[in-house]
Chains A and B, each alone.
Chain A
Amino acid sequence: MSHPVWLIAKQEFTLNRRNRWVISFAVVFSVLTILVSLLGMVTSGYSGFQDFVRTSASIINLDGFIVPLFALLLGVFSFLSHREHLELMVTQPISRAKIILGKYLGLLLTVIGATLLGFGLPGIVFSLAVGVEGAFQYFIVVLLALLLSVVFTGLAVLISLLSRRQQIALGVSVGLWIFFELLYGMLMLGTTLHFSHATLKVLLLAGLTGNPVDLTRVLSLLVIGGPHFFGPAGATLIKLTGSASVASLLGLAAILLWIVIPMLVSIRVFSRQNL
C-alpha cells in the first residue's frame, strides 16, 4: 500500500521502533502489571474467592497512570525532535492534513504496540497461573487502556503543534497529566462540599466524561464488576441512562469524542500554521 498517509505512518513507526524507550516502557509496564497483581493476590491470600474485579482495579489504576504519561511523552518527543523532518515533509506535494494523519497513525501504532506488549506478557502469565476464566475481563481492561492511549496520543500531537518548542510541550504535557490524574478528581470530590445532592448526582456523573482517565476506569469497572459494584451510585447511573449497556455506550462515545475532537483541532491548527 502506498497511500501517502500510510507511508508517513510507516516511516514514523520505524523511527519510533528504534527508540529504546519504547521497548523499555513495554518491559517496565509488563513487570509492574505482573507485580501489582501478584502483590494483590499475595495480600489477599489468593484464596480463589476474590473475583477479578479487585485485581483488575489495581491494574486499571496502574495503566491509568502509565499509559497516558507514556503516550504524551512519546508523542511530544517524536513530534518535536524530528521537527526538521516535519518541515521537509511539508515541502512535498501532500496536504498537511495527510501529513498530520500519517504521523498520528505512526505514533498510534507505536503506542498501541508497546501497550499490547506490556499487557500481552502478563496476560500469558495470568492464563498460565490461574486459567483463562478472567480472560474476557482482562480483554476489556486492555481494550480500554488502548483507547486511553489513543486519546493521549492525540492530545500529545495537539500539544506539540500548539507549543512548538519541546521544553514547553513537555511542561504542558506533564501538567496536563497531573491535571487529569489528580487535580480533576480532587475538584470533583471538592464539589461535594458545595452542592446539594440532587445537583451532585448529575454533576459527578457528567463530570466523568470530562476526564478520559476517570472515564476509562469507571467504564472498565462497570463492564467487569457490573453497575452494582458502585452501590447506590450504580442505581443512579441506571436511572439516568436506562441501563448499564446504554451507560457503557455513552461512555464509549465520550471517549471517541476525546479522540476525534483533538484530532480535528490538530489538523485545523497545522493547516493554518506558519512554520
Chain B
Amino acid sequence: MVRISRRGWLALALIALLFLIVPDRLKSAVRIVRAGDSIASALSQASPGDTLRLDEGEYFENLVIEVPIVLTGKGHPWIRGGYEGIVIHIKAPGTVIDGLRVSEAGTRLIDDMACILVEADSVTIQNNRIDESLHGIYVKAGSWITIHDNRIEGRLDLIEEDRGNGIHLWNSRHSRIERNEILNTRDGIYFSFADSTIIRQNHVHHVRYGLHYMYSNHNIFEDNLFDENVAGAALMYSQNIGFYRNVFARCRGFRAYGILYQSMDDTRAEGNLILDNSRGIFLNNSGGNILLHNDVVDNDVAVQMNAGSDANIFAGNNFINNLSELLLDISHTEIVWTDSSGGNYWSGYDGYDLDGDGIGDKPYTIQNVFQVLESNCPEVRFYLFSPAAEILEAAERALPILELGKSRDAAPRMRPLANHDVPWFRVRQDRSEMNPLVAGAFFIGSATPLFLLLGLSRNHSGKRK
C-alpha cells in the first residue's frame, strides 16, 4: 500500500484540476470552410483558439481577424483580395496563418495596403505563398512576431517606386524572420524602429535593397543570401547590428552596392561573402564598425569610404581579385587594417616574407597611384587596364618614392585566410567541378596551333625538295 501524504494529495488534486481545465482549452473547435463558403462568416462564429481549416480552392475575400485563431488549409487555399485594400488584416494577438496562398492586395501604399497586415503581438505567419502583393507582410506595431518559410513575390507590372516591400516591420520588437524567399518587391525586408530582431536563412533576390534598415538597433542577421539586388543591404541610422555568414552577391549598376553603411555605428560583420558587386562595401558617415574574416571577391571596387567614416576596423578579411581595392573621397580617413592577430589578405600584394611567419615584411599600400588619381577624378577610370596605367603601377612598385596612397595594411597576409564561416557553398555552381575538363580543353587548344605550325613548316620544306 502506498501511503500518500497530504502534500501528495494536494499535488494530485492540482493535476486533476489541470485536466479539468486543459480539455476545455482543447475543446476549441476545428471548423472546416468549404470552397465557395465565406471565411468571414466562419470567422464571426469562431471563438478564441479555434482552427479554421480551408478546403482547397479560391476565396474572394478581404478578411479581418479579431479573434485569435489558426487559419490553415491543405494545398494552399487561395485567398484573393481582388486588388482592393488589405487581404488579411490581423488584429488579434496569437493568430496563426499557415499554408495559404494570399494574393491581390490593393495598390495604395499610403494606406499600408498589404497581403497580410499585422497589428497585434505574437502572430505567426508560416508556409504561405504570397504573390501579386503590394507589401507582402506588413507588421505595424506588433512584437514577438514569427514569420517563417514564406515565399513573397512582388508585382513586376508596377514600377519600383509603386511596389511595396516583401516584409515590412515598423515599431516592432523581438521578431524572428526565417527561411523566407522574397523577390520582385521594392525592398526585401524593411525595418524601421524594429529592434532586437533575428533574421536568418532568408533568400532575397531581384529587389531594390535586399535589407533596408532605418533606426533599428540591436538586430542580428545571419546565413541570409542576397543576390542580384540593387544593394544587398542598405543599413541606415542604426547601431549595434551584427551580421554573420551572409552572402551579398551580384549587385551591379551605377548605384549598386554589396553593403551600404549610411550613418551606422558600432556594427559587427563576420564571415560574410561579398561577391561580384559594382561596389562591395560602401561606408558613408559611419564609424566604429568592425569587419572581420569576410571574403571580398571579384568586386569592381572592394571598399569605398566617404567623409566622416573613422575608426572602422578591417582585419582578417580576404580581398581577392577586386579591380580597385579602396576608394576614398578624402585622404585623411583613419582606418584600422590590423588587429592583434594581423592584417588582411590582399591579392594585389607582392611583398615577401623572409621570416616565414605568414605575414608580409613590408606594409601593403592599399591604394595604388591609379586609384589615387581615380579618387580625385573618376573619369580616369576610362584608362583602367590601359598600358599606361599598368606602367604607372609598375613604376610605383619599383620606385616606392612615388607612393601617393596613405592607407596601409601593416601586416598583410601572404596567403588567403581560411575563413571557414564564409558560406561559399551557397554560391558555388556545378561548373566549378568542371575544372579539370576546362584545363584539359585549354591544354589541347593551346597545343593545336603548335602542331599546326609544325605541320605547315614540314609541308613547306617538303615542297622545296
Contact = CB atoms under 8 A, between A and B. Distances in A.
**A joins B in a complex:** yes
Interface of A: 20, 23-24, 26-27, 30-31, 34-35, 37-38, 41-51, 54, 57, 60-61, 64-65, 121-122, 124-125, 128-130, 181-186, 188-189, 192, 197, 200-201, 204-205, 208, 213-214, 217-218, 221, 226-236
B386 A34 contact: no
A45 B297 CA distance: 11
> In terms of DSSP, what is the predominant structure of the interface of chain B?
helix
**Main DSSP-derived SS at the A contact region:** helix
A121 B298 contact: no
Contacts of B446: 31, 34-35, 38, 125
A46 B378 contact: no
B387 A233 contact: no
A186 B370 CA distance: 11
Given A27-B449, A64-B387, A125-B444, 8 more contacts: A35-B446, A50-B298, A50-B321, A125-B446, A128-B445, A129-B445, A130-B438, A200-B377
Kindly name the residue among B276, B384, B391 whose own CB sees the greatest number of chain A CB atoms within 10 A.
Answer: B384
B453 A61 contact: no
A125 B276 contact: no
Contacts of B275: 49
A100 B300 CA distance: 46
A192 B449 contact: no
B441 A125 contact: yes
A233 B382 contact: yes
Given A24-B453, A186-B392, A192-B373, A49 B427 contact: yes
Nearest to B453: A27
Given A24-B453, A228-B256, A46 B435 contact: yes
B425 interface: no
Contacts, number: 160
Given A46-B435, A200-B379, A230-B381, A185 B386 contact: yes
B385 A221 contact: yes
Given A125-B441, A235-B254, A192 B380 contact: yes
B330 to A, nearest CB: 15
A228 B277 CA distance: 11
Contact of A228 (B253, B380, B431, B453): B253
A156 to B, nearest CB: 20
Nearest to B438: A129
Nearest to A232: B378
Contacts of B388: 181-186, 188-189
Nearest to A40: B321
A236 B323 CA distance: 20
B450 A27 contact: yes
**Nearest 8 interchain pairs by C-beta:** A185-B388, A125-B445, A232-B378, A48-B431, A129-B441, A233-B381, A204-B379, A34-B446
B250 to A, nearest CB: 8
B432 interface: yes
A197 B387 contact: no
A186 B386 CA distance: 10
Contact of A189 (B279, B385, B389): B389
A233 B378 contact: yes
Contact of A230 (B276, B382, B392): B382
B26 interface: no
Interface string B417-454: 00000000001110110010111011011101110110
Contacts of B377: 192, 197, 200-201, 204
A130 B376 CA distance: 39
Contacts of A44: 298, 321
B14 interface: no
B278 interface: yes
Contacts of A43: 321
B432 A48 contact: yes
A46 B438 contact: yes
Nearest to A199: B377
B352 interface: no
A213 B388 CA distance: 12
